[in-house]
Amino acid sequence: MSSSSTPTPSSSSKAGAADTSTADIEKLLSREATAFQRESEVERIFAAFKLNPYEILDLDQVSTPEEIKKQYRKLSLFIHPDKCSHARAPEAFDLLKKAEQELSDENKREELDALITTARRDLFKSHNIPPTTPNHDYRVQSLVPPYKTQMRLRVKEMLIDEEVRRRKAIKNNLANEGFEAAKKEEEVQQRKRKAEDDKNWEENRETRVNSWRSFASGSSTAKKQKTDGKKKKKSAILG
């Protein structure tokens, strides 16, 4: 009988140690790869256009509400600050939450979808492509730069224009509110000045009355003296 086929204890332990070492290396590499992917996802979120929640969540316009929530949960767990060592992971996490909230708001999503639809129509028109042409059509697929690249740029431009208009409207409203506030403040000050004038007028009323009485009395005395002087003068002439 040959004993060469039976592994010795030392060879078995060596093989087991080698297997364990390989497994540990694979786990370490897997963890490093996952950590790298988490950090890469954070960088992708920050590279996305902040006014486009679809881009932040890496979704298309046709995504259902369920798909939006699922994508948000997946990404928020993946780059959660407790699991991701990236310094800006908390900020990226907040951006994901804001994007999900905006797409969950029916009114905001309708406005965004309408803008994207307009951007698509304008893009197709610029390339003489009928607006009802599906995205998989060869005319769309053969666009250079690619359709998605052109759409992303056009949507970005339109969102920027929309944001500029929104900020101007806010600024104008604030200016109008400031004008109205200043006008109301001026009216308040005018009422205060009038009330103060009325108060002073009433407080000085007695003084004015006494002054008038003194004036009237002095005027009467002077008039009497003048009359008496004339009489004396006339008497001297006649006398």
pLDDT digits (tens, 9 = 90+) for 138-156: 999 999 999 999 999 999 9
Q: What is the structure's pLDDT at 110? A: 95
Q: What is the structure's pLDDT at 1? A: 45
- Tell me how crowded residue 55 is: count the other CB atoms within 10 A of its CB: 19
CATH class of domain segment(s) 28-199: mainly alpha
Residues found in the chain: 239
The CA-based angle 199-200-203, given to 5 degrees, is: 85
Low-confidence residues of the chain: pLDDT under 70: 1-21, 23-30, 202, 205, 208-209, 215-239
Which residues, 6 or more positions from 101, have their beta carbon under 8 angstroms from its beta carbon? none
Q: Which residue in this structure is represented by tokens 């009988």?
A: 1
Q: What is the structure's pLDDT at 192? A: 74
Say what the pTM is.
0.63
CA distance 123 to 128: 9
Q: What is the structure's pLDDT at 13? A: 53
pLDDT tens per residue, range 13-61: 555 555 556 766 666 666 777 889 999 999 999 999 999 999 999 999 9
Closest CA to 58 of 78, 37, 40, 72: 72
